Amino acid sequence: MIVAQKKPMEEIIEEVKGYNKILIAGCNECVTVCEAGGKKEVQVLASALRMYFMNQGKEIKIDEVTLERQCDHEYLEEIRNIIDQYDAVLSLACGVGVQFMAEKYFTTPILPGVNTCFLGATEERGFWTERCQACGQCILARTGGICPVSRCAKRLLNGPCGGSTKGKCEIDSNVDCAWQLIIDRLKALGRLEQDYEKLTPIKDWSTDRAGGPRKVVREDVRI
């Protein structure tokens, strides 16, 4: 899922202080799981902002809504009837949601409330780590399910670099050497011969962000 972090309160206050009627819009998917922009976080942020502005003596209306997702037209349409009541929307969705909402309601300023970080998984509650860089050419079949593009500091595709110490990468002793993990896994799977010994051809990076903003088109499902 997309992992995001709440923006510092001071930054959010700076963003919204010019407006008098704000809608805080959360998202029920990824940002709920990483506890940055779900219904609970919307409530807490709304309450905190109301108190801050009350304390400053400023009259401000802050309403709350949590949409199922902010990256689909159907869900964003749900606020069409109410959005004109507000001067601005503070969206706690990931960067995708903020932008999609801004495209749909382009006469209303849509402000981000979280910093979108990476594609990752919940290793344990409160601890999320990166796993995927969306390179568009998945090679996990050949690397025992461990991605060298996102987890190797040098993005090497044919084995370790020799800089690792005790299975940890040379950039930081807390970061695992991805290739150590891959080799251990392939050994456990008994696939060192088939997968590790075979050379990976030069990667086509045009499907990565390096090739420019990407799109996926499925003619078979477009009406």
Partner 1 sequence: MRLQYPDTIRVVRVPCTGKVDIIHILRSFEKGADGVYVVGCMEGDCRFNNGNIRAKKRVAQAKKILDTIGIGGERVQMFNLSSAEGPKFAQYAVEMTDKIKELGANPIKKAFKKKAA
Check residue 64 for interaction with partner 1 (CB under 8 A). no
Check residue 14 for interaction with partner 1 (CB under 8 A). no
Of 44 and 134, nearer to partner 1 (C-beta) is: 44
Q: 67 is written with which tokens?
A: 């949409």
Q: 180 is written with which tokens?
A: 């150590």
Tell which one of 54, 82, 121, 138 touches partner 1 (CB under 8 A): 54
Stretch that binds partner 1, among 51-59, 67-75, 110-118, 206-214 (CB under 8 A): 51-59
Question: Could you tell me how many residues of this chain bind partner 1 (CB under 8 A)?
Answer: 15
Check residue 9 for interaction with partner 1 (CB under 8 A). yes
| C-alpha closest to that of 26 among 39, 43, 11, 9 | 39
Check residue 80 for interaction with partner 1 (CB under 8 A). no
CB contact at 8 A, 137 and 212: no
Check residue 162 for interaction with partner 1 (CB under 8 A). no
CB atoms within 10 A of CB 125: 7
Of 50 and 185, nearer to partner 1 (C-beta) is: 50
Check residue 55 for interaction with partner 1 (CB under 8 A). yes
What amino acid is encoded at 55 in this protein?
N
Site string for partner 1, 30-49 (x = CB under 8 A): ----------x--xx--xxx
The CA distance from 200 to 60, in Å, is 59
Q: How far is the CB of 34 from partner 1 (least distance, A)?
A: 16
**Residue 38 CB-density burial (10 A; 0-12 exposed, 13-18 middle, 19+ buried):** buried
Check residue 105 for interaction with partner 1 (CB under 8 A). no
Q: How far is the CB of 192 from partner 1 (least distance, A)?
A: 43
Q: 129 forms bridges with which residues in the sheet?
A: 121
Q: How far is CA 21 from CA 24, 53, 66, 88, in A?
A: 10, 12, 17, 7
Q: Which residues bind partner 1 (CB under 8 A)?
A: 9-10, 40, 43-44, 47-52, 54-57
